[in-house]
A and B are shown apart, each in its own frame.
Chain A
Amino acid sequence: MAIRPRSQPKAPVHATSARGWWRSLGRGSRLRAIVTTAILLPIGFGWIYPFLWTVSAGFKSSGEIFAGLNLIPADPQPENYSRAWTDANIGRYFGNSLITTVASTAIVLVTVSMMGYVLGRYQFPGKKPLIALLAVTVFLPEGYTIIPIFELVNRLGLANSLAGVTLALAGGANVVMVLLFAGYFAQLPKELEEAAVVDGAGFLRVFWEIMLPLSKPIIATTIILQSMQSWNAFLQPLVLTLARPDLRTLAVGIYAFQGQFYTDWSGMAAAATISLAPIVIIFLFLQRYFVEGVAGAVKA
C-alpha cells in the first residue's frame, strides 16, 4: 500500500506553477489549506525543536546552554564535538554501532530474502507447519528473552564481542520481513523462471540473477527497517557489553556517558547529535522508503 496522495481524476493536475495550483483550488480548499498550515506549522516547529536544540547545544558553552532559548550559539564551540569524539570515546562507539548495524543488516537481508523466496514461490513437504510455526512466534508471550540470549551468546564463546551483539541484533524469526519478500516474490509471473530454466539456470542462479534483482523495493525496505532497528537498539547491546565498555554502541555509550560526565552538558549534546545525525540524514533522503516500509509492515 503506497502512501502517495491519492490521485483524484477530477483534480486539475495540469496546473504547473504554484500560483496555478493555488487558483485551481476551490475557495473551501484554499481556506482549509491555510487553516491547516496555520495550526500545523507551530506544532511542527515544536515537534522538531528538541533536535534543533540538541544540535545547537552541542555548539554552545556549558554556561550558554541554559542561558536562553536562542538556537544560534553566540560563540560557536566546535571543539565540543571533537572532545566528545575522542575523550568520551564517541568515535569508538560510532565505529561499533556502524559495524554491528551493517553486519546485522547484511545477515538479515540474506536469510530473510532466501526464506521469503522459497515460501513465496515453491511448494514443498512441511510448508504448512512451517507457516504455522511462523504465525505462532508472533503470538507467543516472549518472557524475558534477553537472559537466555545472553547465556546462549556466552556459550557460543561470543560473549563480550561485537560478533555476539551483531548476531543478537540479526537473530530472530523476522516474520514481517519474510512475509514482505514472500508476498512480493509470489506475485511475479511464472514465465520468468521457466525461461531461465530452459536456458539451463539452476535454483541458485534463478534466485540470484533473476529474482533477487527484481525485488529491489523490498530489499530497500528491509535494509531501512533493520538498520534503523540495529542502530537504535538499546537493551541487547546494553546487556551484552556490560563487561566490556570498549564494545558499547552509541546508545549504550551515551547512556554510560550520562552517568560519568554528568556536568558536561555541551559534550553530551554533541555526543547525542553525533549519534542521531546519521539515521536522521538517511531518513531525510530516503523518507519515502521509510514510510512505505512501515506502512507495508502494518499491512502484512
Chain B
Amino acid sequence: MAIGAAKHAASLPERGTPARDGKPLTQRLWAARWCYLFLLPNLVLAGMFTFYPTVMSWYFAFFDWSGFQSDREWIGLDNFREIVADEFFWDAYRRSFLFMLVAVPTQVVLALIVALALNDSSYKLGTFFRTVFFLPVVTSAAIVGIVMTFVFSPFNGPVNKVLLEVGLVDRPVDFLGDPDTALWTVAGVWIWKWFGITMIYWLAALQVVPQELYEAARLDGANRMRLHKDITLPMVFPFAVVIVLITIVGALNVFGLVQTMTGGGPFFASEVMEVYVYRNAFGQSGIPRLGYASAAALFFGITVLGLSLLQGWGLKKANHARAEMTQT
C-alpha cells in the first residue's frame, strides 16, 4: 500500500487553474483561498495525530521519563545504549522477526492458492467462500484474542476436545501456557485472522492478468499448472512485492492479539516487539519508562523502514522485468 500510494500521489492529474499563468504569487494564493480552506481540517488532524506524534516520539527517545506526571530529563543516547545491552529487547526483536518469517510466507502462499481457486468466474460458490474467509478480518483483534484463549484452553477447550477425540494427542495441550507453543499458537490465529485480506489483495492482483494470454497458451496445449507457473505468477509478481510488504509490516506490528491471548507470556515466550514496548511504557512491571519505550520503538521502526526501502527497490526491479515481458 505504501509504495503504491506514494506513486499514485505523484501521478495525480494537473487540472483546474493553470499552474503558472504569470500572475504574482499573492494573487495566485488569493485565487486558491478556497483550496487552502478545504485542506485545512485534514492538515490540522494530520499535524496533530501524525506529524507531531511522529517527531515527538523520536524526541522522547532521548529522555529519561518515568510517567506523564513526572519531569523528563535529557540523557542523550543512554536509552539506546541500554537497549543494545538489554537481553529482553533482543529476545523480543528476534521473536518479532521469527513470527514474521513463519507467518508471512504461510499466509501469503495459502491465500494465493485459495485466491486462484476462487478466481474462476464459472465457480458459483466463489463469493460465498470469499465471504467466509474474509469474516475474521472485520472483527476486533482484541476480542478475537480473548475468544481464542477459550478456544485453545487446555481445560476442555474445543481445539483440545477435537484433538483428543481424533486421537492426535493423549492429554490436553496447553497451547498458550507452554513457552514452546504460545508464540506459534498466536501466529496460527494471526494467519487465520488476516488471511482474508491477503486473499482479497491476490484476487485484485489476479484481475489484471489478460485473458488472452491464457487463451493463447491453452491453444498451445498448456495445462492449468503450466498456465499459472508461466503466466499468472510472473504477471502478478509486482503485486506480490506490495502484498508481501503490507503483510510483513502487519506481522511486525502485531499487538492486540498477543496482548490479549498471552500478554507476552508465559515467561516472555511470546513477547514480541510491540508488547515489549507497551510493557515498558504502560505495563504493570514497575515504573513506566516512556523515554526508553520510545527509543525501543524508534530503533525497531528504523529496521522496518529499511525493509520497506529494500522492498521498494525490489518492486522497481519487478516492474522493469514485467515491462520487458509484456513487450516480448
Contacts and interface: CB of A to CB of B under 8 A. Distances in A.
Interface residues of B, number: 115
Nearest to A44: B132
B268 interface: no
A232 B142 CA distance: 8
Interface string A266-295: 001100100110011001100100110011
Contacts of A252: 142
Interface string B291-319: 00110111001101100110000000000
B25 to A, nearest CB: 6
A125 B68 contact: no
A1 interface: yes
Contacts of B161: 68-69
Contact of B146 (A51, A142, A231, A255): A255
Interface stretch (B99-107, B117-125, B179-187): B117-125
Contacts of A8: 121-122, 211
Interface string A243-264: 0000000111011001000000
B304 A141 contact: yes
B162 interface: yes
B308 A121 contact: no
B168 interface: no
A256 to B, nearest CB: 11
Given A139-B2, A147-B281, A182-B12, A69 B162 contact: yes
Contact of B1 (A68, A168, A234, A298): A298
Interface in A190-243: 190, 203-204, 207, 228, 231-232, 234-235, 239, 242
A171 B28 contact: no
A133 to B, nearest CB: 8
Given A47-B135, A283-B135, A298-B201, A135 B10 contact: yes
B232 interface: no
A17 interface: no
A72 interface: no
B199 to A, nearest CB: 10
Contacts of A272: 143, 146-147
B17 A143 contact: no
Contacts, number: 326
A11 B242 contact: no
Contact of A234 (B68, B120, B141, B207): B141
Contacts of B36: 124
Contact of B5 (A135, A142, A265): A135
A251 B57 contact: no
Nearest to B146: A258
Interface string A41-75: 00010011111011001000000011111000000
Nearest to B137: A294
Given A147-B60, A154-B68, A279-B138, A173 B50 contact: yes
B49 interface: yes
Contact of B143 (A112, A125, A168, A275): A275
Contacts of A295: 200-201, 203-204
9 closest pairs, A vs B, by CB? A171-B49, A141-B301, A143-B57, A5-B121, A124-B32, A144-B297, A66-B156, A145-B53, A148-B56
